[in-house]
Structure 1
Amino acid sequence: MTADTDGVVPQLRELIALRATAQRRGPARHGRHGASGPAASQLRGRGMEYAESREYVAGDDVRHIDWRLTARSGRTHTKLFQAERERLSLIVADTSASLYFGTRVRFKSTQAARAGAVAVWNAIRDGDRVAAVRGSRLEPPVPPASGPRGALRVLDALVRWYAQAPADDQGLASALEAAGRLLRPGSRLIVLADPASVASLPQEVWTRLSAHHDVVVLLLFDVLEETPPEAALAFQSAQHRIELDLADSAQRARWQHVFAEPITQALAQLPGRGVRVQSLRADAPSDAWLPLLGRPQPQVA
């Protein structure tokens, strides 16, 4: 276990301390879509915000026609845009009950909070605004803000969300739906998720998101899920106890189907949907995934 926490519940002080870890990397990278930071976003889509509409003149881009105003006025209008001054980095937190588990160093939920903190401090270093959202009908998202103040708001939310499984969790699909209401073209999404949550979503969800945003998915898993011993294991929940004989080939195959296959499938399929994806073991360094941001974005087939 770490010096700051027993690994079961994330602590705000440890998430703040990760600032130094996250910001040790080099300058903001210039990828095929341009540089990140406090300038017009060049990641995906236009990276622009709507400013106003005016009447169409010859030479205007027909893709920017304001169809609603055109229909109301009877005259063709086009939309004008202004560059976004700061990119939005949005943390999408899966809070499904399966994350609140671990056998070495820390729970998957604690690693999710720590990886999210690394993402936040990395974004602040690059001049982004940061925000966070989870699947909830009751709790609103953490609104976008920049600087240390914005970072602390998100870190506080991660501590609360990953202290214990929220009773009102609506799933990753709900979290991504809520994320869609915050996003602007060129935003970056960092999705902290259990592999099973990712496997439950239609692949088209990722294609739609990556069409206009830089999408990063971190798959949180425990070493026991990856390489279980060939032995009988007993598990205890608040409601009941279950025993599994993983020396039995049928039960071991079922285990692999539930825990290993979602990771394998996500790593194989998501890059083809334009998504950067990496698995992150609960006992690994929480910044081990940062080199992922330096790789070129995958192209959508």
Structure 2
Amino acid sequence: MTTAEILKRVRRIEIKTRGLSNHIFAGEYHSAFKGRGMSFSEVREYAPGDDVKAIDWNVTARFSHPFIKVFEEERELTVMLLVDVSSSSLFGTQQRLKRDLITEISAVISFSASTNNDKVGVIFFSDKVEKFIPPKKGRSHILRIIRELIALEPSQNSKGTNVNAALEYLTNALKKRTITFVLSDFVSEPYDAALQLAARRHDIVGIQTYDRHDQELPAAGLIQVKDAETGEMRWLDTDDKQVRYQYGAAFEEQKKYCQTSFRKSGASLVRVRTDEDYVKVLQGFFKGR
């Protein structure tokens, strides 16, 4: 992809996802993720019904009638995106590739965070951490993230997906609490221990992307398939009911592992299919918090 093509696609994604962030997600995002506490804002005169515990006795004594302290929520948060760029994300048989879905959702979250004056950072990973973008604010920073979401590819010697490596990097690199979104199909080496450790320090939200044909193999006769991450080639008789059953059973086993790992760690998990309206899915999740 040329630089001009990348910039054109960045602009197209910015227009779409920034509009969604401003008009749909701003309120839901703000209410879903709390700030780090309350900070002093100002004092004002006491009114009937105010909490007497909030009276500022020094100001009250100075003016000879009661004043109370007013506090407001500290809204500034740090949002981290852990983005799977492994080869398995380059699969999709419906409206889009899993990678395209991850890119759009990441952009929506980034603009939503930026609208709320939050910092955003990214850890790109395959079977290892590919790139770390430290958290910052500002439109130019968000556009840089989108460029990387579009253009970054895994290392040539990369094979497989390792969610564990990304979570361990997060735990070691960011000591302060963050809101962390892990965007992946979670077809990975085991990661439950790293997830539990990361969830103790950070507010973790997994966004699992999948395609209809990750879930079920169509009956299409004898076909040759290639594992996108290992390069292994195989012939499959997709008309064989047992083959299709085993394919679906492997998907369900992986799905169950993912759901169980997130539940045990206390983290949240959202599942989005490539042909689903992710806007409705994310809105439902934000409102549910």
TM norm structure 1:
0.69
Residues 289/165 of structure 1: CA separation in 2 closer, same or farther (3 Å cut) = farther
User: Match for 2:206 among 196, 217, 226?
Assistant: 217
- 2:216 and 2:79 map into 1 onto residues whose CA distance is 34
Between the aligned residues of both structures, percent identity stands at 22
Residue aligning to 1:203: 192
For the 8 Å contact 1:96–1:171, the answer to whether it is kept is no
Deviation per CA, 1:95-128: give whole Å up to 9, x if none. 2221111111211111111111111112112221
Residues 99/191 of structure 1: CA separation in 2 closer, same or farther (3 Å cut) = same
Residue aligning to 1:282: 274
Residue 87 of structure 1 pairs with residue 77 of structure 2: yes
How far did 1:20 drift?
Answer: 0.7
For the 8 Å contact 2:91–2:98, the answer to whether it is kept is yes
How far did 1:29 drift?
Answer: 4.2
User: Match for 2:240 among 248, 251, 255?
Assistant: 248
How far did 1:253 drift?
Answer: 2.7
Residue 228 of structure 1 pairs with residue 217 of structure 2: yes
In the TM superposition, what are the counterparts of 1:105-254 in structure 2 within 5 Å?
105-135=95-125, 139-161=130-152, 164-167=153-156, 169=158, 171-197=162-188, 200-232=189-221, 234-237=223-226, 242-254=234-246
Root-mean-square deviation (Å): 3.0
Whichever residue aligns with residue 256 of structure 2, its letter is: T
TM norm structure 2:
0.71
User: Match for 2:287 among 263, 287, 294?
Assistant: 294
Residues 295/283 of structure 1: CA separation in 2 closer, same or farther (3 Å cut) = same
More helix by percentage: 2
Larger Rg: 2
Structure 2's unaligned 5+ residue stretches are 38-72
Residues 182/295 of structure 1: CA separation in 2 closer, same or farther (3 Å cut) = farther
How far did 1:84 drift?
Answer: 8.2
Whichever residue aligns with residue 15 of structure 1, its letter is: I
Residues 181/240 of structure 1: CA separation in 2 closer, same or farther (3 Å cut) = closer
Equivalences, count: 239
